[in-house]
Chain A
Amino acid sequence: MNFTYNIEGGDFTNAGAPSSAVKKMLKQLGVNPDIIKRTVVALYEAEVNVVAHAYKGIITVDIEDDRIIIKLEDEGPGIEDINKAMTEGYSTASQKVREMGFGAGMGFPNMKTNSDKLTVNSTPGKGTSVEIINYF
C-alpha cells in the first residue's frame, strides 16, 4: 500500500500530520505498539528536519506485510557531511541558538535508534533523501 504526503518548508503547524496518519494505519493493521512508536518518532524527526531546513519535500510511505518503508525526499540545502550529521551532538546551529535549547544535534541519531534501517543521501545545494525501514 502506497501513500504520499507533501511537506512545506517552514510549516511547523502541519509537521506531524503524516506521522499521525501513518500511526493510525499501523494501529488498524495491529502492528505492535512499540514498533508503531519507533516508526512515528523516526518519521516525525525526519519531517521536522524537512520543515526546518528544506524548501519542500515529499514523503512516500509503502506498507508491506512485514515492513514499512518511508522515503522523504526534499529540495533544500542538503547536508555537507552525512557522517558528521549522524554523530550525536553534532549541529550546524550557532552557539547562540544552541544556548536557546535548539539544534542539540540529536535529530539523526534519534532517527537511527528508532529505525531498523536508515539510509541518508544528500547532494549539497540540491536536497536530501532519507529512507527509514522498520520491520513488524
Chain B
Amino acid sequence: MKQAETFHHALKFKYDLCIGCSHCIGACPTAAIHVEKGKPILNPNRCIDCGRCYLACPVSAIYIEQDDFQTIYNYKFPILLVPSIFSAQFPEKINHRAIVSAIHHLGFKYIFEVEKSVDILTDVMNKAIIDKNLERPIISTYCPAVVRLIQVKFPSLVKNLFLVKPPLDITALFIKQKFTDEGVKEEDIGIFYVSPCAAKIAAIKSPVGDDVSMVDGVINMNFFYNKVYRTIKQGTYQLVDEECASQRLACDNLLWSLTKGEINLLSQGRNLAIDEIHNVSDFLEKVENEDITDIDYLELRACDESCAGGILCPGNRFFAAERQKKRAESHTLMNTPRNNDLLKYEEYLLKHLSVGEVLPRSMEKLDNNIAVAMRKMKKSFELNNYLPQVDCRICGYQTCKELAHAIVNENADLKQCIFIQRILEQTDKLTPAEALKINKVIWGEKKFDKNSLKGINLGHKGRIQ
C-alpha cells in the first residue's frame, strides 16, 4: 500500500493575518505547532487536522483549503455529496426542500446525502462485533482525525482500527457506479463533497490506507452554507418538487454523524462513544495501558457533539444536533419507506468495502537508534528539571517538556526560556540586551514594538485603531 511520506494537511496559515499570539499552539492536542520569528510553524508529521487551532485563532489567520467552486462547471454531471448535518445548520424556518432547490440552482444536477450508505455498514458492523478474530476494542475509522491521532500518538492501536470505508467513500463509489451504469461517461461525473471539517478534506486529498478518493472536489461547509443561504434569501431559484427534494434517509442514517450514531446501530457487545479530541486522547491512553478492557467497539470523534460540531459547521453545534435529531424522529414517525436505490449495488459495494492497512507513524520516537534515543531522553529529563513547568509558550513551544525535546533534537536553546534568561542575567552570564535579541528571534522584531498591534485587522472583531 502506497502511503505518502508525510500527511497532506488541509489547514493552512495566512501569515499576513497572523498576529503571532500562539493561541493555536496551546490548543493543539499533538503539540504540532511552535513559533519562529513570530509565526506558527506546523510539524506535518504531528498535525492530525483536527482543527482545534482553527477554532482558537482570534484573527482567522488559519484557513481550510478547498477547491475552486467554479470547477463544478467543468463537469457535465456535477453531483453534490452532502453530509445530512448540512441542512441542520439552517434556521428551522428554512425547510429541506428550499435547501435542496437552492443547491440545484447553484448548478448541481444531483444531490446525495452521505449517510445513504449507512444501511450497508450496519450489517458489516454487526458482523464484526461477533467476530472473535478482530482485536478488541474495535476502533471506528469514521473520523479521520482520530485515525491520524492513533497513527501518531497511539501506534500500538493501529491494529484495532476497523478497516472499512466510511459512508462518504461508499456513497461516492455508489454514485460513480450508478451513473456509469446509466451510460454517463466517467469523466463527465464530478463528485463534490461539502465538508464539515478539515480532517475529512485531508483524508480525501491523501487517503489513509487507501490509494485514491472517488471525490473530485471539496467545498467547505461554511462557504457553501453562505452560498446556499444567499440563494434562498434572494429567492430566484426554482422549487424542486417535494418528491425529488426529500431523500428518504432512515432515522439511523440521519443519526450516524452525531455522537452514539455508530454504537446505537450495534445490536450487541459493550460499546462506547466518546467525542472531543482531548477526551479521545485521554481515553486511548487508558486503552493502550490496558486499564480498560472488555470493550467491543469504540466510536471516537474528534469534535464535541461529533460532526454537528465540525469546525466548518456554521451553526451552533447543540442546535444542529437537536435539529438533526428532530428530522430523524420525523422520519421514524412517518414510517419512511426505505427504498434506498443504493442497496441495488450492495454486492458491488461490499466487495470494495475494505481499506488497506493503516501504518503507525509514531511522533513520540526520539531517534531511530535506541541508544541515541536513550541519551536524548535522559538529557531531555535533565533539562526539563531546570524548566519552570509554567508552560507559558514564551520560548515558542507548547510546554516546558516540548522545549526540552526541541533542545535535545538541536532545534532550540535553553536560553529561549525567560526564567532561565533571568537566572543567567543574575550571574552576568547573559545581558538583558542578549536576552531581548533571543526573544526577538522567536517572536519577531515587531512584537517588541509598543505600537505593534496598531491597525491590526482582527477579522470579525474589527480593527484596532
Contact = CB atoms under 8 A, between A and B. Distances in A.
Q: Do A and B come from one complex?
A: yes
B365 A30 contact: yes
Contacts, number: 57
Nearest to B381: A1
B413 to A, nearest CB: 21
B377 A25 contact: yes
Given A40-B290, A44-B290, A30 B370 contact: yes
Contacts of B368: 30
A19 B288 CA distance: 11
A40 to B, nearest CB: 6
A67 to B, nearest CB: 11
B60 interface: no
Contact of B373 (A16, A28, A36): A28
A118 interface: no
Contacts of B360: 33
A60 to B, nearest CB: 16
21 contacts: A1-B377, A1-B381, A19-B289, A20-B289, A27-B362, A28-B364, A28-B366, A29-B365, A29-B370, A30-B362, A30-B365, A30-B366, A30-B373, A33-B360, A34-B156, A37-B290, A41-B290, A44-B290, A44-B291, A65-B370, A136-B370
A25 B285 CA distance: 13
Contacts of B364: 24, 27-28
A132 to B, nearest CB: 15
A111 to B, nearest CB: 13
Interface residues of B toward A: which range? 20 to 34
B374 A63 contact: yes
Q: Which of A30, A33, A34, A40 has the most CB of B within 10 A?
A: A30
Interface string B367-391: 1101101100110010000000000
A65 B156 contact: no
B207 interface: no
Interface string A9-33: 0000000100110011101111101
A136 B289 CA distance: 18
B289 A30 contact: no
Contacts of A16: 289, 291
Contacts of A19: 289
Interface of B: 155-156, 285, 288-291, 360, 362, 364-368, 370-371, 373-374, 377-378, 381
Interface residues on A, range: 20 to 34
A1 B378 contact: yes
A45 B145 CA distance: 32
Nearest to A114: B290
Given A23-B289, A65-B371, A28 B156 contact: no
Contacts of A23: 288-289
A44 B378 contact: no
Contact of A28 (B290, B291, B365, B371): B365
A30 B155 CA distance: 10
A33 B362 CA distance: 10
A115 to B, nearest CB: 14
B357 to A, nearest CB: 15
Q: Most chain-B CB neighbours within 10 Å: which of A16, A29, A44, A136?
A: A29
Contact of B370 (A27, A31, A33): A31
Contacts of A37: 156, 288, 290
A5 to B, nearest CB: 14
Contacts of A20: 285, 289
Contacts of B378: 1
Contacts of A25: 377
B138 to A, nearest CB: 17
Contact of A36 (B156, B366, B367): B156
Given A29-B374, A37-B290, 6 more contacts: A1-B378, A28-B365, A29-B365, A31-B370, A44-B289, A44-B290
A19 B362 CA distance: 19
A40 B374 contact: no
Nearest to B360: A33
Nearest to B378: A1
B310 to A, nearest CB: 30
Contacts of A66: 370
Contacts of B367: 30
Contacts of A34: 156
Contact of B377 (A29, A36, A44): A29
Contacts of B290: 37, 40-41, 44
Contacts of A36: 156
A133 to B, nearest CB: 16
Interface string A65-102: 11000000000000000000000000000000000000
